[in-house]
Amino acid sequence: MQISDLTVLGLDTSGKIASCAIMRGDTLLGESTFLTRLTHSQIILPTLERTLADCSLTLSDIDLFAVSAGPGSYTGLRIGIAAVKGICATGKPCAGVSTLEALAFGCLPAKGLIIPALYARAGVVYFGGYLSDGSKLSVLLPDRVGDEAELKALAEASGCEVILTGDCAVLLKEKYFGECDNVRLAPACCRLQSASGVCMAALAHPEAVVSADGLAALYLQNTMAEKLRDRGQK
C-alpha cells in the first residue's frame, strides 16, 4: 500500500489547541479541534475516541498515527507523543511532524511564502519559511527559533506574496506589516494548529515513519530543566 492510500490519524497538542483528525489519502474523514483550558491529558484521548466513533472506525483501522512533534509547549508535546507511543507500542507505525509545517499545510492553496510563527517568549518566535505553489510545499527556510527581526527580514526579502499563520500572526502583521499589502494573514480558521495539517505533513514525508521507540520531540530549544542544568555546570 502506498502512503497516499493510508488511513492516518493525527494529533496536535502543541499549544492551546487540542485536535484530532483522520484522513484517508486526500479525504478528511473527520476532525475535532478545541481551544481549551483543560490540560491535554484530560481531553486528547476522549477526543480521539470520539473522532474514531464519529468516523465509524477503530484503532485497528488506522494505518499510521501522526503527531505534532514540535516546536510548541514542552508539556503539550510530551502528552501527544506519549499518547501515540502508547497506541503504537504493539507495532503500529507512527510519524512525528513539524508543528510549523503542519500549520503551513493549512494554508496550502495560497500561492506564495507561508510563514508559520508561534510564540516562544517575549520578542522570540518559532518560525519557518514554506513556499507553496497551491498544491505542494517546499522548505525555503528550515524551522528555527529566532527574534522577530529575523522573521521580518525573511518576509521583506521574499519578493512574493507572504501569508502569516500561527498564534503570532496577528501581532506580527500589526507590528511590522500593517502597510504591506503583500503580507497577509491566513484566515482565522487556518491560523491555529489542526490535526488535519499533521496528517497532511505525515503523508508528505514517508521517510518520517518510525516505530514507537523512534518517535521523539523537536523542541528547537532546550527545556527549562536543561537550561537550569546547563547554568549549574558553568
Please name each of the domains of the chain with its CATH number.
Answer: 3-99+194-233 (3.30.420.40), 107-190 (3.30.420.200)
Residue pLDDT, tens place only, 104-137: 999 999 999 999 999 999 999 999 999 999 999 9
Report whether pLDDT(223) > 60.
no
| pLDDT at residue 147, as a whole number | 96
| pLDDT at residue 162, as a whole number | 98
Give the global pTM. 0.92
3 state DSSP class of 217: coil
Query: Band of the pLDDT at 77, cuts 50, 70, 90?
Result: very high
Residue pLDDT, tens place only, 132-176: 999 999 999 999 999 999 999 999 999 999 999 999 999 999 999
- Beta bridge partners, 146, equal 125
CA dist 197 and 142 (Å) reads: 17
**What phi and psi values does residue 131 have, to the nearest 5 degrees?**
-85, 130
Residue with more model confidence, 229 or 126: 126
CB within 8 Å of 27: residues ≥ 6 apart:
none
CA dist 64 and 8 (Å) reads: 5
Point out the least confidently predicted range of 22-31, 56-65, 89-98, 216-225: 216-225
